[in-house]
Amino acid sequence: MSAIRFDRRDDVLVLTLDVPGDAVNKLTTVLGEELSGAMAEIDRDPSVRACVIVSGKPDSFIVGADIEQFLEFRRELDAARASQAGQEVLNALAALRVPVVTAIHGACMGGGLELSLATTYRICTDHTKTLLAVPEVQLGLIPGMGGTQRLPRLIGLQAALDLMLTGRSVRARKALQLGLVDEMVHPAILLDVAVARARELADGTRRPARRGRGAGTTGLLLDTNFAGRAVVFRKARENVLVKTHGHFPAPLAALDAVHAGFERGMAEGLREEARRFGELAMTPVSRELIFLFFATTALKKDAGVEPPAPAAAPVRKLGVLGAGFMGAGIAGVAAQAGTIVRLKDTDPARVGRGLAAVRSVIGERLARRSITRQQFADQLLLVSGTTAYAGFGNADLVIEAVFEDLDLKHRVLREVEPAIRPDAVYASNTSTIPIGEIARAAARPERVLGMHFFSPVHRMPLLEVIVTAQTAKEAVVTAVDYGRALGKTVIVVHDGPGFYTTRTLSAYMNEAGMLLDENAAIEQVDRVLVEFGFPVGPITLLDEVGIDVGGKVGLVLSQAFGHRMTPSQALRRVVESGRTGRKGGSGFYRYDKHGKKGTVDPTVYALIGEGRQRMPMPAGEMVERCTLAMVNEAAHCLQEGILRSPRDGDIGAVFGIGFPPFRGGPFRYIDSLGIDEVVRRLEDLHARFAPRFEPAALLLDMARARRRFYPAEGRPV
Ligand code: NAI
């Protein structure tokens, strides 16, 4: 079965890419070979005067390279050769004797976009599914089929670096504006227009657009001037280093490849591209990012219950209890997904503030022009407010986001249950209280579960769904399915205090507090953990989450897990002082009236340190203590069955609590350090800090049996 169909439209040859047995087209070695065959055919047949490349898949062009093939590389040289082979195919395409038009509808990613760059003319559809990107950096790689060379030549250096260094995708309109495509049309006429353009190009009645068109005059001046380019490269490198703290080698390699092409010509640039691609493919960073890619893909297919999974009920209407920070955020993302939302709070003023917050969540998308004014208005209309349970009677799902107080949560649940359908799902957004305890007040505990969103709801990618022994499978699959409809990465965990994410994060933050008890300096603790790869340090995070919230969580967890989770003195004292962190304008750090963080507030030391001198501490020790506290707690969660798999634990930590993605997650991290080494380090720490750091029994068992969480080679999940 062939991946390319040939159709003639008189003198224009249409190549339809339709890889058999797959829902999408991926660029594989086989597809590359078939493409070479097609090109040879064109060269042999003088009656072909032009060519169009289009996809046979319903909503995508080419989604990128087949990432599974990347796992087969054993040496840098293998990966570099694969890149070179891809480059050669596309070089031949670029040098073909006839003009080639790419007709793009749907995702056009990575190698797919690189292929289009090697053709004469690109048309895309104006459909929302049409997205163009070179996302390789997100896998720790760079475009390896000439993208680092052709992209800047087509759209200018700055725009190309922006796409390449972030991996972000652009929609059709933006692509047209950048000069990434030459034309944008309605999907219904894509192929006809492409064929017409191909013929015009062959006749000479149309010329391909001038290269660098999207860059503007200043952009072009910069690109063509040695000194200007040097500035762009230097600034880009500085930005990358600030953003990545040097943890991600791929953006720097992309810069080098682009640079080589500009200064020494395309052939040299391609050589550098292939060499760097090879190098990157063998780095642990890339392996971990590829693992996360596979893990999230596998997770998307997981219904969240053991098979057989019942069908998920559709959620057309959502009730939200509590129009505060989280409630409004949830209402906002629900409206964006097209759900009708009833938002309930205790008084009209609070409801009003909640609705205003919803407006600003949806408004952010309007400001970024990812929705139109009409869509903005339509989405706002989906949300209405109330101080009673009017309009809850036909809700499919109710999410409770009232204050973190068990009595209140019981009261609210008792109140709302009679007002909703018996088959409606009831979810609490609590971040710590066991769902089983909340469900004690329920007449229908089988409909109760947790949907733990993270703040801010519209930006944080994770949703932790928490199920009790009583929760019905159907309620679980409905919550998981709806979470995905909201665009979230969803993990399902079993019930327990702090579930998975709050519990592991607390173990980590608590250890940071212990470091303060031992006179470490606040900014040093934060700095070393940011250097390890967390997006912000633990003390800054505590200010962000709210010190009062941290205090409550600490209490619940220390009651549940005893001395292992006893809150640090530092935390207890700052909680007692009434400081709440950023939201209250006063925490471990100073905040201005706009909430912008300043330096450490020295007066906080009077609270926590009794005037003692802050002592420098070895960075390695601080990092080890905080991260191993987290990793060990994650192992406890797996051992107790809170987690369904190491995969869920890794994804939850990376997407929910900021575990460095290039380290894969707690379980991948244990595998990479070696289980023996982790146990040894935990035992050493336990000897010094008992009762903390006692290795989870699971880790001891695994060390004895010399087991890993993931296979050492091949596809990780
Ligand atoms: P918030 O204080 O901003 O909002 C709570 C809202 O609930 C208030 O507007 C309050 O008036 C309302 N409320 C109180 N009693 C009510 C009742 N009987 N009926 C309807 N509404 C009522 O609190 P926030 O931060 O939104 O937290 C809500 C829940 O989400 C808590 O359980 C919290 O633990 C959880 N959570 C909070 C996160 C955060 O970062 N803030 C993250 C994840 C979960």
397 shares its domain with 420: yes
pLDDT tens-digit readout, 684-713: 999 999 999 999 999 999 999 999 999 988
Q: Is residue 589 part of a domain?
A: yes
Q: Is residue 231 part of a domain?
A: yes
pLDDT tens-digit readout, 131-187: 999 999 999 999 999 999 999 999 999 999 999 999 999 999 999 999 999 999 999
260 shares its domain with 347: no
Residues marked active site are found at 464
Q: Tell me how far the alpha carbon of residue 633 lies from the centroid of ligand 1, in angstroms.
A: 27
485 shares its domain with 507: no
CATH number at residue 571: 1.10.1040.50
Residue that is written with structure tokens 């798999």 in the block: 645
Domain around 94: 4-282
pLDDT, position 210: 67
Measuring from atom 31 of ligand 1, which residue has the nearest CA?
A: 404
Atom of ligand 1 nearest to the CA of 347: 11
| Pocket flag, ligand 1, residue 324 (CB < 6 Å) | yes
448 shares its domain with 516: no
Alpha carbons 366 and 364: distance in angstroms, whole number? 5
Alpha carbons 655 and 658: distance in angstroms, whole number? 6
The mean pLDDT of 414-435, rounded to a whole number, is 97
Residue that is written with structure tokens 């207890």 in the block: 572
Q: Tell me how far the alpha carbon of residue 627 lies from the centroid of ligand 1, in angstroms.
A: 30
The mean pLDDT of 624-647, rounded to a whole number, is 98
Domain boundary among 433, 459, 493: 493
Pocket test for ligand 1, best of 345, 428, 463 (most atoms within 8 A of CB): 345
455 shares its domain with 414: yes
489 shares its domain with 506: no
Q: Is residue 618 part of a domain?
A: yes
Query: Nearest Cα to 529, choosing from 547, 543, 542, 512?
Result: 512
pLDDT, position 378: 97
Mean pLDDT of the residues in the chain = 95
CB 131 within 8 A of CB 169: yes
Domain boundary among 493, 519, 540: 493
193 shares its domain with 342: no
Q: Is residue 412 part of a domain?
A: yes
CB 630 within 8 A of CB 506: no
Centroid of chain to Cα 685: 33
The mean pLDDT of 247-259, rounded to a whole number, is 97
Q: Which residues contact 701 (CB under 8 A, 6 or more apart)?
A: 707
| Pocket flag, ligand 1, residue 431 (CB < 6 Å) | yes
| Pocket flag, ligand 1, residue 343 (CB < 6 Å) | no
| CB-neighbour burial class of residue 618 (10 A; exposed 0-12, middle 13-18, buried 19+) | exposed
257 shares its domain with 379: no
pLDDT, position 287: 94
| CB-neighbour burial class of residue 16 (10 A; exposed 0-12, middle 13-18, buried 19+) | middle
Angle ∠(466,472,476) on CA atoms, nearest 5 = 45
457 shares its domain with 506: no
Other CB atoms within a 10 A radius of the CB of residue 162 amount to 15
Angle ∠(352,354,358) on CA atoms, nearest 5 = 115
394 shares its domain with 460: yes
CB 401 within 8 A of CB 326: yes
| CB-neighbour burial class of residue 88 (10 A; exposed 0-12, middle 13-18, buried 19+) | middle
Q: What is the pTM of this model?
A: 0.93
Angle ∠(346,349,353) on CA atoms, nearest 5 = 105
CATH number at residue 454: 3.40.50.720
Q: Is residue 293 part of a domain?
A: no
| Pocket flag, ligand 1, residue 106 (CB < 6 Å) | no
- Dihedral over Cα of 578, 582, 584, 590: its sign: positive
Distances (CA, A) of 204 to 49, 56, 121, 284, 652: 11, 28, 13, 50, 56
pLDDT, position 212: 61
Counting the structural domains of the chain, the total is 3
Q: What is the DSSP letter of 309?
A: P
Q: Is residue 306 part of a domain?
A: no
| Pocket flag, ligand 1, residue 429 (CB < 6 Å) | yes
Query: Nearest Cα to 64, choosing from 122, 101, 106?
Result: 106
Measuring from atom 29 of ligand 1, which residue has the nearest CA?
A: 401
pLDDT, position 53: 98
Domain boundary among 442, 472, 493: 493
pLDDT tens-digit readout, 62-101: 999 999 889 899 999 999 999 999 999 999 999 999 999 9
Q: Is residue 477 part of a domain?
A: yes
pLDDT at 683 over 90: yes
235 shares its domain with 198: yes
Q: Is residue 461 part of a domain?
A: yes
245 shares its domain with 340: no
| Pocket flag, ligand 1, residue 216 (CB < 6 Å) | no
